[in-house]
């Protein structure tokens, strides 16, 4: 498989992930939508389906369906062949593919969030009319995660734990499939189930970013969104959903390297 298939499917799949994932959040938290106040369960199911659909599309088109630099890092570290998890692709050195995958994941996340904002633009405006802190936070929530209770240690631990469970499952499923002859669509479905489990069990704390770009790219979009009364982008918290998942990716990758 050619290297450009790898990076383009990462861009497309990550965009789908954000469109459907932050799309369900927007539908729930913004004023005047048909899904307003549908609650955490709707958001959790929506995010699980977002991961599943994005991964199914990317896999069908010949991609690896990472959509998450923490996953990319973990698979690169755990690959004992030295191919950084990209042995099936040719035309470029593994290191080049590694960095391009991460870059295109970020671009895909930005594109996805811009499309969500365009679709929900009037609802965003409607929500911000009041100027209340709660409504400003609702608009931020359709971009990035917000903890229910702030605490650097507890928030970091949650994001680290959630990402650890996700990557542990992904790498374990890869071993389960070795030589088993299972259909290619089984992995996206199982990973979607893992996302659902993490969201339902742990999502009530930080909103379970468990993916640096799922939080960082939309937060940057929020920062530059040209709307009055949008509020701050909360960068004092924004480092946690980036650093904790990456730390988890490194540690789980090293564990599977042993």
* Cα separations in angstroms, 190 against 95, 105, 198, 240: 28, 21, 12, 27
Percent of the chain with pLDDT over 90: 89
Mean pLDDT value across residues 26-51? 97
Rounded Cα distance between 18 and 48, Å, is 11
Contact 30, 126 (CB under 8 A): yes
Mean pLDDT of 20-49: 97
Please report which confidence band the pLDDT of residue 175 belongs to, taking 50, 70 and 90 as the band edges: confident
d(CA 169, CA 216): 23
**Contact assessment for residue 236 and residue 201, using Cβ atoms and an 8 Å cutoff:** no
Q: Provide mean pLDDT across the span 236-247.
A: 98
Measured distance CA(134)–CA(209) in Å, rounded: 20
CATH number of the CATH domain containing 199: 1.20.1080.10
**Structural domain boundaries enclosing 98:** 3-257
Query: How far is the C-alpha of 212 from the C-alpha of 245, rounded, in Å?
Result: 6
Quote the number of domains for the chain.
Answer: 1
d(CA 161, CA 208): 10
Q: Report residue 79's pLDDT band, with 50, 70 and 90 as the boundaries.
A: very high
Does the pLDDT value for residue 42 go beyond 60?
A: yes
pLDDT of residue 185: 78
* 3-29 vs 94-119: helix crossing angle, rounded to 10: 30
Q: What is the pLDDT of residue 177?
A: 56
**Res 183: pLDDT:** 72
pLDDT tens sequence across 208-223: 999 999 999 999 999 9
């Amino acid at each position: 498989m050619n290297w450009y298939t790898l990076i383009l499917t990462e861009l497309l799949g990550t965009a789908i992930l954000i469109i459907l994932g932050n799309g369900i959040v927007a539908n729930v938290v913004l004023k005047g939508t048909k899904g307003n106040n549908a609650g955490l369960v709707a958001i959790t199911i929506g995010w699980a389906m977002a991961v599943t659909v994005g991964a199914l599309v990317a896999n069908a088109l010949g991609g690896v369906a990472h959509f998450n630099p923490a996953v990319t890092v973990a698979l690169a570290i755990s690959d004992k062949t030295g191919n950084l998890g990209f042995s099936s692709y040719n035309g470029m050195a593994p290191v080049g593919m590694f960095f391009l995958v991460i870059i295109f994941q970020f671009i895909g996340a930005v594109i996805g969030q811009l499309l969500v904002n365009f679709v929900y633009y009037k609802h965003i405006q409607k929500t911000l009319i009041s100027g209340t802190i709660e409504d400003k936070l609702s608009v931020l929530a359709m971009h990035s995660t917000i903890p229910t209770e702030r605490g650097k240690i507890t928030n970091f631990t949650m994001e680290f734990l959630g990402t650890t469970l996700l990557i542990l499952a992904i790498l374990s499923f890869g071993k389960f499939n070795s030589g088993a002859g299972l259909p290619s669509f089984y992995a996206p479905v199982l990973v979607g189930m893992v996302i659902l489990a993490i969201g339902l069990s742990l999502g009530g704390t930080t909103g379970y970013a468990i993916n640096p770009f799922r939080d960082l790219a939309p937060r940057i979009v929020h920062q530059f969104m040209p709307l009055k009364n949008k509020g701050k982008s909360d960068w004092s918290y924004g480092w946690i959903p980036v650093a904790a998942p990456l730390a988890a990716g490194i540690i789980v990758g090293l564990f599977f390297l042993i």
